[in-house]
Structure 1
Amino acid sequence: MRRIYPDIQDNPDIAQAYAYPGDRPWLRVNMVASTDGAAWLKGRSRGLSSKGDRRIFQTLRGLSDVIVAGAATVRTEGYGPVPPRDWWAELREGRPEVPPIAVVTRSLGFDLDAELFTDAPSRTIVITCESAPHERRKAAARHCDLIVAGDDEVDLPLAMAELHQRGLTKVLCEGGPRVNAQLSACRLIDELCLSISPMLVGGGAARILNGEPARVSLDLSQVLEEEGVLFCTYTREQSR
Structure 2
Amino acid sequence: MSVRIPINQIWPAATSEELDDAALTRLYARTDRPHLRVNFVSSLDGAVSVDGYSAGLSGEPDKRVFGLLRMLCDALVVAAGTLRREGYRAVRLDPVRRAWRRDHGLPQYPTLVVVSGSLHLDPAQAAFADAPVRPVVLTRDGAVPPPGLSDVVDLVPCGTDRVDLVTGLAELRRRGFDQLLCEGGPHLFGALTAADLVDELCLTVAPLLAGPGPGRITAGDGTEPRRLPLRHVLTTTDGMLLLRYART
**2:172–2:178 CA contact under 8 A, matched in 1:** yes
**1:131–1:152 CA contact under 8 A, matched in 2:** no
Among 11, 20, 24, the residue aligned to 2:18: 11
Give the CA deviation at 1:211.
1.0
Give the TM-score normalised by structure 2: 0.91
User: What's the counterpart of residue 174 of structure 1?
Assistant: 183
Measure the CA separation in 1 of the matches of 2:178 and 2:121.
Answer: 26
Measure the CA separation in 1 of the matches of 2:163 and 2:95.
Answer: 35
Measure the CA separation in 1 of the matches of 2:126 and 2:60.
Answer: 26
User: What's the counterpart of residue 31 of structure 1?
Assistant: 40
Question: 1:228 is paired with a residue of what secondary structure?
Answer: coil
Count residues with an aligned counterpart.
234
Which aligned runs of 4 or more in structure 1 are off by greater than 6 angstroms? none
Deviates more, 1:86-95 or 1:170-179: 86-95
Deviates more, 1:177-186 or 1:75-84: 75-84
Deviates more, 1:197-206 or 1:153-162: 197-206
AA paired with 2:131? A
User: What's the counterpart of residue 229 of structure 1?
Assistant: 240
Among 31, 37, 40, the residue aligned to 1:21: 31
What is the correspondence of 1:4-83 to structure 2 with a 5 Å cutoff? 4-9=10-15, 10-12=17-19, 13-22=23-32, 24-83=33-92
Give the CA deviation at 1:106.
0.6
User: What's the counterpart of residue 126 of structure 1?
Assistant: 137
Measure the CA separation in 2 of the matches of 1:127 and 1:140.
Answer: 13
Give the CA deviation at 1:114.
1.9
CA RMSD of aligned residues (A): 1.3
User: What's the counterpart of residue 114 of structure 2?
Assistant: 103
Deviations 1:195-239 (A, max 9, x none): 0001001222111111112211111111100121000001135xx
Pair 1:90 & 2:100 matched: yes
**2:71–2:93 CA contact under 8 A, matched in 1:** no
Q: Which runs of 5+ in 1 are unaligned?
A: none
Among 195, 199, 222, the residue aligned to 1:186: 195
Measure the CA separation in 2 of the matches of 1:42 and 1:101.
Answer: 26
Among 180, 198, 219, the residue aligned to 1:210: 219
Question: 1:167 is paired with a residue of what secondary structure?
Answer: coil
Measure the CA separation in 2 of the matches of 1:152 and 1:139.
Answer: 24
Measure the CA separation in 2 of the matches of 1:117 and 1:50.
Answer: 26
Give the CA deviation at 1:141.
2.3
Identity over aligned residues, as a percent?
40
Give the CA deviation at 1:117.
1.6
**2:122–2:149 CA contact under 8 A, matched in 1:** no
Measure the CA separation in 2 of the matches of 1:84 and 1:33.
Answer: 24
Question: 2:229 is paired with a residue of what secondary structure?
Answer: strand
Give the TM-score normalised by structure 1: 0.94
